[in-house]
Amino acid sequence: MRFTLLLLLTGIFSSTFVYSKNLQDSLPAKNGYYIPITLTPYKNAKIYLGTYYGKNKILVDSCMLNEKSEGLFSGSAKLDEGIYFLVSPQRTLLFEVLMDSAQHFSIQSDSSQLADIQTEGSAENKLFADYSRYLLKVAPKINTLQSEMKHSAKNKKDSTAIMDQIKLWSDSMNQYRDHIVKQYPESMLATLFEAVKVPSFPPMPVKPDGTKDSAYPWQYVKEHFWDQVNFYDGRLLHTPFFDSKINDYLDNYISQQPDSVIDAINYMLLSSRSNEKMFQYLLAKFTDKYINPQIMGQDKVFLFLFDHYFSKGDTGWLNASQKKYIFDRAYSLIANQLGDAAPQLDLVDSSGNEASLYAIKAPFTFVIFWDPLCSHCQEQVPELDSLYEHKWKSLGVKIFAVNTNENTKPDWEKFIIEHHLNGWIHAWQPREGRLADEQNAKPNFRQLFDITQTPTTYLLDENKKIIAKKLSFEQYDQIIESKLKNTTP
């Protein structure tokens, strides 16, 4: 199963309701929460109180409704502030409420008429209930128009007309939110409206040469994306939009170059330091995202997190196995970063002669770690040889192939012969070599090159610096072509 620190923090899986505690007191707790509820038509049934935690949903309390559909959520300690929701006995989400610092209020609702939620004792929830009722009128209209756009629009005129209607309703919703922000600027609802907002794209300005600056709107949104967000505000953790807004920012408004990502996430982490829960959430989220990234080179982001946070002692909230994983993963990545010189490989060939990576003289060296018993390797190694024979060989590319399975020497040699893997440097480390490394506390190639699966591949330049790693053969070929094109006089 994929490692994730966020599961450690929540104890749940995404989009799954998990009951995390049961706090039911019969008397109001002065410093806690006390929320009587009447929820018809449910009788003699258990209902649940839950909240959001990033992209997840967690249940924090439950209560039994009596014959009169009455129940009580209560506890001796206050709940974290944010957006909460009521869950039916069938575990379906019914409606949302706001949990601010005043956690003594009552709720009355009918599950068949969720637009008519009544609250007493909470000004925040009266405001929120009004907005929810408004949203229940507007959202279906926008959804219907969007469906018409997708399925019914026959031409550009139809599409334009529908888009105009969608804009009218969207503008109406934005005006409602802006009104709340102006009228109740200190309310939680105003804070949430400001936090969820993404800046609008401004018009493109005209450059001195008379052309429009097409990059300006995107740059503007990027620079103002977090204008109204305080990362130390823990209430944002308990909303359904905060996590997706972070993803939108990192994926669509930040350059995917590691240094740009590092600047963006470090700003968020430093800004959240005064709120321990928010800081831990963000650190866990960013670690999950970049510990095994989808984009080559972004493991540098994880190493930044390790160097500046985990190795500095921000690990008290980790259990021993999670902490070990983090540290082991970092040590496996330190030696194989893009732009760095590849670790030395002093191995032996099938005849016991020395096979050294740095002895190779070539404009490019392709390193592949493979296992002759691995089914993926059995398919991909011949594909690599075909590419080598038909193209790479003439370009001066050398292949340094390392057998990772010390127990397969006969299979390894047989595979090389049967598939005519000629012109390659074939190397391996016999068992006694591995044991000697372990005895001398010397990291072997498995750690130095982060070999967690086979095949694992790297492309090195003439100085043995790492150009690329863990890509497809086609992507490597494109990189080689691009490098050669850029160096051709």
* Amino acid type, 200: S
How far, in Å, CA of 201 to CA of 297, rounded? Answer: 30
Dihedral over alpha carbons 15, 18, 19, 21 (to 10 degrees): -100
pLDDT of 140: 87
Question: Which of 268, 262, 253 is CA-nearest to residue 223?
Answer: 253
Contact at 8 Å (CB) between 362 and 398? yes
Low-confidence stretches of the chain (pLDDT beneath 50):
1-2, 10-26
Local structure of 371: helix, strand or coil: coil
Token pair 């009104």: residue: 179
Would you say 173 and 138 are in contact if contact means Cβ atoms under 8 Å apart? yes
Single out the residue of 45, 75, 71 nearest to residue 61, CA to CA. Answer: 75
45-104 pLDDT per residue, tens: 999 999 999 989 999 999 999 999 999 999 999 999 999 999 999 999 999 999 999 999
Judging by DSSP bridges, how do beta strands 33-40 and 106-110 pair with one another? parallel
Question: Phi and psi dihedrals of 258, rounded to 5?
Answer: -50, -40
The pLDDT value recorded for residue 4 is 60
Q: How far is CA 71 from CA 45, 49, 67, 332, in A?
A: 10, 12, 10, 54
- Please report the pLDDT score of residue 6 as a whole number: 58
As beta bridge partners, residue 195 has none
Strand partners, 456: 369
Amino acid symbol at 301: V
H or E element at residue 113: strand 113-120
Alpha helices, DSSP H, located in 226-298: 242-252, 258-271, 276-290
For the whole model, what pTM was predicted? 0.85
SS3 15: coil
Q: Residues with Cβ < 8 Å from 50, sequence gap 6 or more?
A: 17, 57, 58, 59, 60, 84, 85, 86, 87, 93
Q: Judging by DSSP bridges, how do beta strands 425-428 and 397-403 pair with one another?
A: parallel
Side chain identity at 256, as an amino acid letter?
Answer: Q
DSSP 466: E
* DSSP-derived secondary structure letter, 104: B
